[in-house]
Amino acid sequence: MSSFDLGLIIRVFISPNSAFLEIRDNEEKYFAQAIALLIISSVIGGLAVLPFVIMPLDDAYFEFEGTEEIDNTFPLGDSAVPLSITSSLLSGFVSAILYYFIGKNLDGNTNWKKVFSVYFHVHALVIPITIIIAILIFLMWGSFTSIEPSLLLDPNIDDEDAFSLMGSFIGYVALLAIFGIGFAIWILIITIKAIKTVHGFGTGKAFGLIILVAIITSFVSVPFSFV
């Protein structure tokens, strides 16, 4: 493969069943592209934590009892971005391995390259979604760190004034929640279609496998979550 098959990637968005079917039946052709999509989505995922690294909270937030041991770059340190990328890559490969081995033992596909190729193409959706989420996080965190700490920490501030100061931040949090839930549901639906296609499972069986893999993968990725 000398270049990305953009047409196929677009079909993952608009016609996932036929796209996954073609990938499954031509895994040698699309395997390198699948790996590239995982890597790209993982690297872009690092953007989502970047705002917390480059925009630390003001020192004033750490002058209270119980905050002495919290680093002023709270909530994330300089290692957050590479650890986030590493965690995404690890989660992707562990998930693919689990989808293959567990799926195979449930009378699914016995060709690991087919499973990897189909599953990694789900990450084509993750790329634009992550960019949107990263922008919203940047705006959200930027709106909070731009607030003068003395105003928020004023013991005499009333609810109306606090809401006025936090209005933009709360708005971005709400947008993040709405988009996050919507995107999570969309990715789940597409992943179900991918697993159904590559393993020949029904919807319930595919959904159960996805939940099981998600639980196992979350434990594997825990060490990379402490940044």
Question: pLDDT (tens digit, 9 = 90+) per residue, 103-125?
Answer: 999 999 999 999 999 999 999 99
Q: Are 13 and 124 in contact (CB under 8 A)?
A: yes
Quote the Cα angle for 91-93-96, to 5°: 105
Q: How far is CA 156 from CA 2, 150, 151, 195, in A?
A: 64, 11, 9, 56
Rounded distance between C-alpha atoms, residue 1 and residue 119, angstroms: 18
Q: Which residue is associated with the tokens 């209005």?
A: 167
Mean of the pLDDT values across residues 94-102? 96
Q: Which residue is associated with the tokens 């650890």?
A: 83
Residue in 51, 23, 55, 26 with CA at minimum distance from that of residue 37: 23
Give tens-digit pLDDT for 193-224: 999 999 999 999 999 999 999 999 888 766 55
Cβ atoms within 10 Å, residue 123: 25
The pLDDT mean for the chain works out to 84
Cβ atoms within 10 Å, residue 129: 20
Q: 56 or 27, which is more confident? A: 27
Residues composing the chain:
227
Our measurement of the distance from residue 205's CA atom to the centroid of its chain's CA atoms, rounded to an integer in Å, reads 24
Phi, psi of 146 (to 5 degrees): -85, -10
